[in-house]
Structure 1
Amino acid sequence: MSLLRTESEERKALIEVSSYDVTLDFTLGDELFGSRTELAFDCRTPGASTFVELIPHDVTSIVLNGTVIGQSAVRDGRLWLDGLQEHNVLVVEASMAYVHDGEGMQHTVDPEDGRTYLYASPSSSSAGRIYACFEQPDLKAPYRVRVKAPEDWRVIANGAGTDTRDGLHSFAETKPIATYFFTVCAGPFAVQTGEHDGISLGIYARATLAERLREQADEIFTVTGQGFDYYHRVYGIRYPWGKYDQVFVPEFNMGAMENPGCVTFRDEFIFPGRASRAEHLLRAVVVVHEMAHMWFGDLVTMQWWDDLWLNESFAEFLAQQCTAEATEFTEAWVDFSATRKNWGYAADRAPSTHPIAGSPAPDARAALENLDGITYPKGASALRQLAAYLGEDTFLAGVRNYLRAHEFGNATLHDFLQSMSAASGLDLDDWSRGWLLTAGTDVLAARVDGDTVTIERTTPADRPAQRPHVTDVAAFGGGIELGRADVRIDADRTRVHGLDLGASPKLLVPNATDRTWAIGALDEAAQRSIPDELPAISDPTVRGVVWSALLNGLALGTVDPATALDVFDAAWPHEEVEPLLEAVAMFASLFMPGRYFSPARTPSALERIARTGRTVLELEGISDSRRLTAARLVARTSADVSLLRGWAAGRDLPEFLVGDDQFRWSVIGRLASLGEVDDDEIDSWQEKDPSVSGVLRAIAARTRIPTEAAKAAAWARLTSSDRPNSHELSAVAANFFGHSDQQFTRPYVERFFEELPQLSGTLGDMLLHLLTREGFPVSVVEQRTVELAERALAGELPAGVRRSFVDGTSSLREHLRSQERFG
């Protein structure tokens, strides 16, 4: 039973938590672990009743203030407590079940060496699967933790380790933290240690990644140190959590989690093969994103889940800024424009769009539904606008005041805006109403009006809002910047001052520095000019904004896919900013074929994309990272079986890719899609690469084979697993519906909408939402798919599944509209 907001308010008014003392025993086998919780709390109304969250396998004993409580007090995931005193001590001993879907105490076995790894992932409503607790964000308390584990294991927790004897690990008491930040990681982890500015640092990963960890630790330590220096300067408050460990764990459902003192990451961030600069940049952004939370989210925590956006939006904003200003990855904002913002624009035009703030979260699980492109990049863009609106110094003064006023406590959007108003002297109600409390994205179009330029702002008709934009506009001709001017847009038509064109521009780019959240409109004349203009524009941010306008124009039905492909052919080989190069390549190869291009037109589109990739691959004097991006593009799109076979065997490859298992699997995956490899051959490749990555890549390749037998086997794995593995299921879901195998997958479209929701009884909410989102048959661009989705939406669905179906159906309609108009 998910905690209701009304219940959390009643419980907050009744009790105050003093401390947790948690002991976990990981020596009981592969199914269960022991959990003992001693919970001290005060009750403001003695004699009252309340409950703690507890989802045990079996209860050993429950004692409240010295009185034994019967097991019948545990019902529907709650332990009910009656007759509370002013000061209370609850002691619960139980055996708990390990989980395999990432929501609770995750148990994972590395297939490469058979060794076990554990980590606690409480999410918003799973802490009760690990220990007895008051599971809501505004009942924070200090933790003392002890863990019994096999003697050859390392154990990492929020607090620093203080003692280890006979396999019993003890940890220092933490500062007050919320239940969803509690974690323990245990297993035969490899470790690299360091120190920065008096802060003890540790980086952990599976033993089979020890060599890779050793090779990559210096870069992670460097980014970590740069992050600490930046945040100490920005926040004006030293890191408050003692030591700082970063644990790269297997089968993690999220990208990372900001547990104070013990951040957990997907272990794919310890790169198993050659990685592009874009991948290194992404890892740096994620590292400093989680670090930003140590203050904004951990030190000051939201009062309830409806303000989760503030934690994530702020960390997203500061992570981009920190990466761009404090690390070697100065192109972070360009990457944000090309990748993160386009994710957000798609979310904001979907029927499931919602305001950045103020979205109702009636229960704890509902919070997870809005962890999307609105909460992250749109929220970050709004905060970037707020900084521009108020001025950087004033904005930071407000942030520091907010943190100092609420440190180790909880706060709300109202508290944040109060701090900003106090720092600036401005009433921010109107700004907040337009930016934070109203959904939708404005469209900006720049027009030449005589000898002046006018910006036309169009707000969504069904969500009118007054959003001021602090931004700019730039004019180009022959790739040369003819002029640029700052502009503050607070009306539907705004005349731009200070832009002396001097010549007739071929291309006008509103929001050229990408400071605001708005889609740039491209008329037909501008679209015709882009193949010539874009390759010659020297400013990478402008190039990113133009690409974004093209890609969103595809979705809005204002840009012909053939035009976008012409631009790709003309401009992509000249792109030198590698994250932008990679972002455009991913969109061109994964989203346009079979979606914006019909099945009949897809083979020729793929051929052109592959040819462009080979053009870059054969250029002289380019970086290995650019060459890697080009090689991956060719591997995803080429139908040249002879070339792909040679690459799989290690022939005719760039030298740096010889022996790279990850690249080889990309090639094998494409051969599988073409029907050129079978199960036996995939088995032989997996024998050469028994790693976790190899297992997942092999599953993906088998799923992509275009035969009835392969699809039947993959579907059975997805829907009938007795012991589901989250990453293996994700590998099946993400690769099941392709654009070239529809004669075999079309019968499964109806089954997708009928059978996937039924997995809610066996899979966690987060995993099921992930599978239905990644597996949605968005490439089967047919009216029948829309009708089946609508039929499913007319019935009862788990909340996360409904959100996936709504968003997937919206994308399908975009693809259908484009194919009908331009196909």
Structure 2
Amino acid sequence: MPGENLTRIEAQERRAIVDTHSYDVALDLTKGPEVFGSRTVVTFSATEGADTFIDLIAREVHSITLNGRDVPLAAFADSRIALTGLERENQLIVDADCLYTNTGEGMHRFVDPVDDEVYLYSQFEVPDSRRVFAVFEQPDLKAAFQFTVTAPEQWKVVSNSPTPEPKKHGDGQATWTFDPTPPISSYITAIIAGPYEEVFSELTSASGRVIPLGVYARRSLWQFLDADYIFEKTRQGFAYYEEKFDYPYPFAKYDQLFVPEFNAGAMENAGAVTFTESYVFRSKVTDATKERRVVTILHELAHMWFGDLVTMKWWNDLWLNESFAEWASTIATAEATEWTEAWTTFNAMEKTWAYRQDQLPSTHPVVAEITDLEDVQVNFDGITYAKGGSVLKQLAAWVGIEAFFAGVAQYFRKNEWGNTELSDLLSELEATSGRELGTWSKKWLETAGVNTLSPVIHEDAAGTITRFAITQTAPADYPTIRPHRLGVGFYNVTDSALERVHHVELDVDGDLTEVPELKGQRRPDLVLLNDEDLAYAKIRLDERSLETAIEHLGRIADPLARSLVWGAAWDQTRDAESSPSAYIDLVLRNIGSETESTTVRTTLAQLQLAANTYVAPEKRSATRAKVADGLWALAQAAEPGSDSQLQFVTAFATAASTPEHWAIVAALRDGERALEGLEIDTDLSWQLLISLAAGEVAHEKTIDEALAADNTAKGGEFAAQAKASIPQPATKRAAWNSIIENDDQPNTIVRSTALGFQHPATVGQLGEFVQPYFDMLLPIWNSRSYQIAQYIIVGLYPAPLANLALRDATRAWLAANQDAAPALRRLVDENLAGVERALAVQDRDAE
């Protein structure tokens, strides 16, 4: 039985039969807290006499009518309604009751603990519009959607089309009838409803149309929303994209809604983008978070063209959405906003993510093989987003940025409101650039794996280079050797800095590339391959360069060059080519002078992983104490009120591992000890409390008192994380049971509980959960929604143990469950890969 799955073959067969025209969807949101009414009228063409099915997940179906004849309710089974004896033109009417969710999938229902107000929003990507109405759930069956919504009259109701004046019923309810949309895919339709606060603005499109703009958030968060700034970034993005894409904004309006308990950063619903409320800042946040919000705003805006106007035929070309939006939002951020170092941020965060993902056993080509919906769920990953974005950056440089944008513009014009494949984009880029891209595509988009580039340097007694070459290697499982365009930078230590003294740019191809133009140069203190970050490849530092980096990295003036060195040092550590102890020294010595917030954020996370998991077990306790001591020293030395001060304090709280550390954390939280410029605001107070819980300094009563003082959704998440962090068998078991034995916790509480469960200071409690973890995998996978199952399977894996027993138990489960769902096996296999890598690095550290 298909269950809730859909295969690519089934979708292709259905597309050969069906051509959708329109949906008229009427939703009744006044039926109570569990269900809502859903009546769908679908008009579609079909092959006469053919049979097919339409998708629906519902509690109850009341009636099904096809072309005026009643269809037996037994036709609804296994998330599908069987449709038989189709005519050339068809009308299907389905009347059902559908379920609200608390998982962030389908129609999510949230009750604000502050004021008990109800807020709803839809989230349909990948296959969840069928949780709200009957639908042919695949991206290449586009149609016009008209929504009619009945809800409490005091609510705001938002969809893809401009919000109409509601018709009041006189009984406290009202009905909103929206205009039909242009032809779009079902996964980017949207309904958002509740007593949201709103503010409006407008802009004039390149077409001369006035585009209404709206920003929405919950009442209890409204005071924290900086709507004027969001409008400013939106206007900058509109101007940039309309110029570069040479295609006016395609929809009637543009609303941005910050919604509760959201799983992702945002979702590109056409004209009605939803964002996580983490982007409404009620406390001080880092510049990394502020910049990420701007990139996300521009990422979703880019989707209005790439994904919404022109959409992939099937999910194997998901990258056509996400990689392009990732690349476009980065270049737009760098060129159209004040965040001019966006490519440094991209290197520090996105490329780090891509390199990590590309070395997992689950790596795949940018154009992934997607056989069914379960496949696509796990492919929202670092390949689809970050590697794809990196490769597109390289492609734009290869064909020339002007030719690239010209090809994209032709792609939009030629395929507007349609569905495409990779070849459709490449053919337009070939036409505008004159370059043949089939070979490039095969090597970069249709093969997996990351290459490693290393310098070969010979010098004479006087220190003059007599030979310089670059070697390229590939992993045995993915042996493709690729062409790269890259720079080589030479850096020397001076009295004031580590400065670049020479740079060349060249093409690298094959296993070995000689670089004769560097012969005769004096060997520098540091050689940096991929200077300026043109290529997608891991780079290696020679021994002298690594020594220079450890001593002087913070003195490199160019933030992108620093980021490249940080990344190279981390890659060598992860690959067990240098010791994690050396990496820890590198970070503690140099991170204090790093100015780029995302570089600091990424590096501190890697520092914690090195200390908690990568160092040899016999050194771990001393190393964790050393790291926490170093972070506290950095916090004290940081500029008062600075971004780095905040990052060092929060990292110190997470790293705390001794009674002395927790005494400092407690004194900071209680106000008995202060750092100039550091405000212990609501969120920071919670982060300090989580640290104290992990150190058994704070207990459940203190956590409950903190929640009473901050009885908000965010406070509830922090409280769940704090309680799960307490290193007592009873509290760990209670945290486990709260999300394994019970299935009523919302998505954000599941995620927060799992985060606390894995707190590194409580690793000693995790051993007893190894067998229960494997016992629960199949039941959880078979009984929970994908999003919740993923949170549990990744979040409760006792990865901090990083020992042979965990490795062997994971291997044994995989060996015994060959027939488990491929998507489930992938998650477990990725967990195993993390442990195996940690063990290899531990061995290197013990040498």
- TM-score past 0.5 threshold: yes
Alignment of 1:527-546 (within 5 A): 527-546=546-565
Question: Which residue in 1 is equivalent to 2:40?
Answer: 37
Question: Which residue in 1 is equivalent to 2:171?
Answer: none
AA partner of residue 784 (structure 1)? A
Q: 1:186 to 1:458 in 2, by over 3 A?
A: same
After superposition, the C-alpha distances for 1:472-493 in whole angstroms (9 at most, x for unaligned) are 1101121121211111112222
Pairing 1:337–2:347 present: yes
Question: Which residue in 2 is equivalent to 1:595?
Answer: 613
Question: Which residue in 1 is equivalent to 2:566?
Answer: 547
After superposition, the C-alpha distances for 1:22-67 in whole angstroms (9 at most, x for unaligned) are 1101000000000011111112x21222211122211222111221
Q: 1:130 aligns with which of 129, 132, 147?
A: 132
Secondary structure of 1:671 counterpart: helix
Give the Cα separation in 2 of the matches to 1:143 and 1:119.
Answer: 17
AA partner of residue 94 (structure 2)? V
Contact 1:507 1:533 in 2 (8 A): no
Give the Cα separation in 2 of the matches to 1:618 and 1:501.
Answer: 46
Pairing 1:456–2:471 present: yes
Give the Cα separation in 1 of the matches to 2:347 and 2:599.
Answer: 9
Question: Which residue in 2 is equivalent to 1:207?
Answer: 219
Question: Which residue in 1 is equivalent to 2:824?
Answer: 801
Question: Which residue in 2 is equivalent to 1:723?
Answer: 744
Give the Cα separation in 1 of the matches to 2:822 and 2:126.
Answer: 15
Q: 1:584 aligns with which of 603, 615, 638?
A: 603
Question: Which residue in 1 is equivalent to 2:590?
Answer: 571
Cα RMSD for the two superposed structures = 1.7
Question: Which residue in 2 is equivalent to 1:7?
Answer: 10
Pairing 1:607–2:625 present: yes
Deviation at residue 514 of structure 1 after TM alignment = 1.2
Q: 2:439 aligns with which of 409, 424, 430?
A: 430
After superposition, the C-alpha distances for 1:756-778 in whole angstroms (9 at most, x for unaligned) are 33112332113212332233222
Contact 2:197 2:219 in 1 (8 A): yes
After superposition, the C-alpha distances for 1:699-727 in whole angstroms (9 at most, x for unaligned) are 10110111111111111112011413111
Pairing 1:672–2:693 present: yes
After superposition, the C-alpha distances for 1:759-818 in whole angstroms (9 at most, x for unaligned) are 123321132123322332221111110111112212043333322211111111111011
Bigger mean CA deviation after superposition, 537-546 or 593-602 = 593-602
AA partner of residue 821 (structure 1)? R
Alignment of 1:201-280 (within 5 A): 201-213=213-225, 216-280=226-290
Bigger mean CA deviation after superposition, 592-601 or 806-815 = 592-601
Give the Cα separation in 2 of the matches to 1:620 and 1:808.
Answer: 36
Deviation at residue 268 of structure 1 after TM alignment = 1.1
Contact 2:615 2:845 in 1 (8 A): no
Q: 2:414 aligns with which of 388, 400, 405?
A: 405
Secondary structure of 2:799 counterpart: coil
Contact 1:348 1:440 in 2 (8 A): yes
Question: Which residue in 1 is equivalent to 2:646?
Answer: 628
Give the Cα separation in 2 of the matches to 1:724 and 1:62.
Answer: 33
After superposition, the C-alpha distances for 1:508-539 in whole angstroms (9 at most, x for unaligned) are 11111112110111233332221223122111
Question: Which residue in 1 is equivalent to 2:721?
Answer: 700
Deviation at residue 452 of structure 1 after TM alignment = 4.4
Give the Cα separation in 2 of the matches to 1:501 and 1:155.
Answer: 70
Contact 1:447 1:508 in 2 (8 A): no
Give the Cα separation in 1 of the matches to 2:712 and 2:742.
Answer: 21
Question: Which residue in 2 is equivalent to 1:24?
Answer: 27
Deviation at residue 86 of structure 1 after TM alignment = 1.6
Q: 1:368 to 1:722 in 2, by over 3 A?
A: closer
Q: 1:553 to 1:62 in 2, by over 3 A?
A: same
Contact 2:26 2:38 in 1 (8 A): yes
Contact 1:18 1:40 in 2 (8 A): yes
AA partner of residue 43 (structure 2)? A
AA partner of residue 296 (structure 2)? V
Pairing 1:512–2:527 present: no
Q: 2:674 aligns with which of 645, 653, 656?
A: 653
Contact 1:487 1:497 in 2 (8 A): no
Contact 1:593 1:739 in 2 (8 A): no
AA partner of residue 748 (structure 2)? H
Contact 2:473 2:481 in 1 (8 A): no
Give the Cα separation in 1 of the matches to 2:541 and 2:502.
Answer: 18
After superposition, the C-alpha distances for 1:392-422 in whole angstroms (9 at most, x for unaligned) are 1111111111111111000001111111222
Deviation at residue 609 of structure 1 after TM alignment = 2.8
Secondary structure of 1:480 counterpart: strand
Question: Which residue in 1 is equivalent to 2:774?
Answer: 753
After superposition, the C-alpha distances for 1:563-586 in whole angstroms (9 at most, x for unaligned) are 111111221111112221222122
AA partner of residue 17 (structure 2)? L
Contact 1:573 1:615 in 2 (8 A): no
Give the Cα separation in 1 of the matches to 2:74 and 2:311.
Answer: 34
Deviation at residue 730 of structure 1 after TM alignment = 0.9
Secondary structure of 1:423 counterpart: helix
Q: 1:617 aligns with which of 621, 626, 635?
A: 635
Deviation at residue 656 of structure 1 after TM alignment = 5.3
Give the Cα separation in 2 of the matches to 1:792 and 1:199.
Answer: 55
Question: Which residue in 2 is equivalent to 1:733?
Answer: 754
Secondary structure of 1:741 counterpart: helix
Contact 1:484 1:499 in 2 (8 A): no
Q: 1:506 to 1:675 in 2, by over 3 A?
A: same
Q: 1:501 to 1:670 in 2, by over 3 A?
A: farther
AA partner of residue 555 (structure 1)? R
Deviation at residue 735 of structure 1 after TM alignment = 2.3
Q: 1:323 to 1:775 in 2, by over 3 A?
A: farther
Alignment of 1:98-117 (within 5 A): 98-117=100-119
Give the Cα separation in 2 of the matches to 1:809 and 1:523.
Answer: 31
After superposition, the C-alpha distances for 1:619-650 in whole angstroms (9 at most, x for unaligned) are 47566222211222222223422221121113
Deviation at residue 500 of structure 1 after TM alignment = 7.3
Contact 1:277 1:578 in 2 (8 A): yes
Give the Cα separation in 2 of the matches to 1:236 and 1:686.
Answer: 51
Question: Which residue in 1 is equivalent to 2:99?
Answer: 97
Question: Which residue in 2 is equivalent to 1:683?
Answer: 704
Unpaired runs of at least 5, structure 1: none
Pairing 1:80–2:82 present: yes
Deviation at residue 562 of structure 1 after TM alignment = 1.2
Contact 2:22 2:44 in 1 (8 A): yes
AA partner of residue 807 (structure 1)? E
Deviation at residue 342 of structure 1 after TM alignment = 1.1
Secondary structure of 1:618 counterpart: helix
Secondary structure of 2:574 counterpart: helix
TM-score (norm 1): 0.97
AA partner of residue 100 (structure 2)? Y
Bigger mean CA deviation after superposition, 113-122 or 141-150 = 113-122
Contact 2:641 2:676 in 1 (8 A): no
Bigger mean CA deviation after superposition, 615-624 or 569-578 = 615-624
Give the Cα separation in 2 of the matches to 1:267 and 1:67.
Answer: 46
Contact 2:750 2:791 in 1 (8 A): no
Pairing 1:475–2:490 present: yes
Bigger mean CA deviation after superposition, 68-77 or 406-415 = 68-77
Q: 1:679 to 1:39 in 2, by over 3 A?
A: same
Deviation at residue 739 of structure 1 after TM alignment = 3.2
Bigger mean CA deviation after superposition, 703-712 or 635-644 = 635-644
Deviation at residue 240 of structure 1 after TM alignment = 0.5
Give the Cα separation in 2 of the matches to 1:620 and 1:759.
Answer: 45
Contact 2:781 2:824 in 1 (8 A): no
Contact 1:292 1:319 in 2 (8 A): yes
Give the Cα separation in 2 of the matches to 1:543 and 1:615.
Answer: 22
Secondary structure of 1:665 counterpart: helix
Contact 2:306 2:325 in 1 (8 A): yes
Question: Which residue in 1 is equivalent to 2:843?
Answer: 820
Give the Cα separation in 2 of the matches to 1:515 and 1:571.
Answer: 25
After superposition, the C-alpha distances for 1:664-712 in whole angstroms (9 at most, x for unaligned) are 1111111111111111111111111111111111110110111111111
Alignment of 1:306-345 (within 5 A): 306-345=316-355
